[in-house]
Amino acid sequence: MLTRRGIRVKVMQVLYMLLQDPAWGDKQAEQLLHNNIRQTYRAYLYVLQLLSRLSMQVDDENDRRKSKYIPTDEDRDFNIVFFNNPCTEYLRTSETLRKEWKREGLSTTDEDELLPSIYNELKLFPPYAAYIASTEHTIKEHRDLLRAICKQFLPQNEAFDQFMEDMIPTWSDDEQVVLAKVDETLRKLPPESFKEQELYQAEVGVEERDFAKTLLMKCLEDQGRFDQMIEAKLKNWELDRVSLLDRILMKMALTEFLHIPTIPLKVTINEYLEISKLYSTPKSREFINGILDNLMIELKKEGSIVKTGRGLIE
């Protein structure tokens, strides 16, 4: 699910915590990274769970309407098409999905206080209102409604956003990639039984986990050396005047220069410049670019950088 940039951000977040508390050991650092990456997958599962429980709100409202002493015509004609939607039905009944929720410790009552609020706002969402105006829909229409909820409704819903921030500390960083992955899953619903397992192949693969671990551990191992290298390139500045975040980004780039031979130098530099635009100060991009360019030239002259693979040797 996570791109390389997403993994870099996860490592950056962990390094920011670790470098403020030297008491962390290597095993603790690895576990912290594992947990941070895992949060993205848990967020993905939370969104799928929320969609299933929103459909259950329809059934609950229908029960309340039908149990009135004197139900109105509107109560009797209440449309439960969203509850009967084959895609939401799948989300409610999938044993595979239920096991994933249980494995990740997702409670089925976490959203209880917020669900009615989210549901009431959903009823005002134009695509939803248009959908429940009819009882007959194609599978594409069933699917498209869920995708519209995911892509248009949820990102604008404050109650949903608050819930996700409470449950997933990294939600502000993960939201875009998680909702994109949920949308990818929704496009495949309801799945043929033999393809069900493919829906949840959203966890980080072995290659990406290895990249994350190498980036973190080598950066920690060489951080003292990297500080000296960075400080040597500062003009009339002491290292302490450089923000911790900028130092972390430069150290991570140096780690990729020296310890990850399959990533081109320019790709590494561009990635950290883009991350600095999102997380650091407006002037950081130019500053980081200048330092990394100088260090790259110096390390290449020394023969310290070894890149392997076609197109990687510059």
Within-domain flag for 211: no
Of 200, 231, 266, the one marking the end of a domain is: 200
Within-domain flag for 6: no
The single-letter DSSP state of residue 111 is T
Q: How high is the pLDDT of residue 194?
A: 47
User: Do 187 and 228 sit in the same domain of this protein?
Assistant: no
Q: What are phi and psi of 63, to 5 degrees?
A: -60, -40
**DSSP states of 232-257:** HT-SS--GGGS-HHHHHHHHHHHHHH
**Which domain CATH number covers 282?**
1.10.940.10
Q: Which domain holds residue 183?
A: 24-200
User: Do 254 and 130 sit in the same domain of this protein?
Assistant: no
- What length is written for the chain? 314
User: Do 81 and 188 sit in the same domain of this protein?
Assistant: yes
Within-domain flag for 194: yes
Within-domain flag for 82: yes
Within-domain flag for 2: no
Q: How high is the pLDDT of residue 196?
A: 63
Interhelix angle for 284-302 vs 244-259, to 10°? 30
User: Do 117 and 242 sit in the same domain of this protein?
Assistant: no
Of 200, 231, 263, the one marking the end of a domain is: 200
User: Do 121 and 239 sit in the same domain of this protein?
Assistant: no
User: Do 192 and 241 sit in the same domain of this protein?
Assistant: no
Q: How high is the pLDDT of residue 198?
A: 61
Q: How many domains are there within the chain?
A: 2
Residue whose pair of structure tokens reads 């829909």 in the numeric block? 137
- Contacts of 190 by beta carbon, 8 Å cutoff, 6+ apart: 86, 87, 89, 90, 139
Residue whose pair of structure tokens reads 């917020």 in the numeric block? 114
User: Do 134 and 253 sit in the same domain of this protein?
Assistant: no
Within-domain flag for 205: no
Tokens of 150: 């995911």
User: Do 279 and 142 sit in the same domain of this protein?
Assistant: no
User: Do 136 and 61 sit in the same domain of this protein?
Assistant: yes
Inter-residue contact 55 to 82 (CB < 8 Å): yes
User: Do 106 and 150 sit in the same domain of this protein?
Assistant: yes
Per-residue pLDDT 10s for the chain (314 aa) are 788 999 999 999 999 999 888 777 788 899 999 999 989 999 999 999 999 999 999 998 888 888 888 888 787 778 899 999 999 999 999 988 888 898 888 876 656 778 899 999 999 999 999 999 998 999 999 999 999 999 999 999 999 999 899 889 889 989 999 999 999 999 988 876 546 666 656 667 788 899 999 999 999 999 999 999 999 998 877 888 899 999 999 999 999 999 999 999 999 999 999 999 999 998 999 999 999 999 999 999 999 998 876 555 55
User: Do 33 and 122 sit in the same domain of this protein?
Assistant: yes
Distance (Å) of CA 203 to CA 14, 197, 245: 19, 12, 27
Within-domain flag for 312: no
Helix and strand counts by DSSP (H, E) for the chain: 16, 0
**1-4 LR contacts (CB < 8 Å, sep 24+):** 1/40, 1/41, 1/44, 1/177, 1/178, 1/181, 1/202, 1/203, 1/204, 2/37, 2/40, 2/177, 2/204, 2/208, 3/177, 4/208, 4/211, 4/271
Alpha helices in 67-151 (DSSP H): 73-76, 81-84, 86-93, 95-103, 115-122, 126-132, 139-148
Inter-residue contact 45 to 99 (CB < 8 Å): no
Of 170, 200, 230, the one marking the end of a domain is: 200
Within-domain flag for 275: yes
User: Do 231 and 271 sit in the same domain of this protein?
Assistant: yes
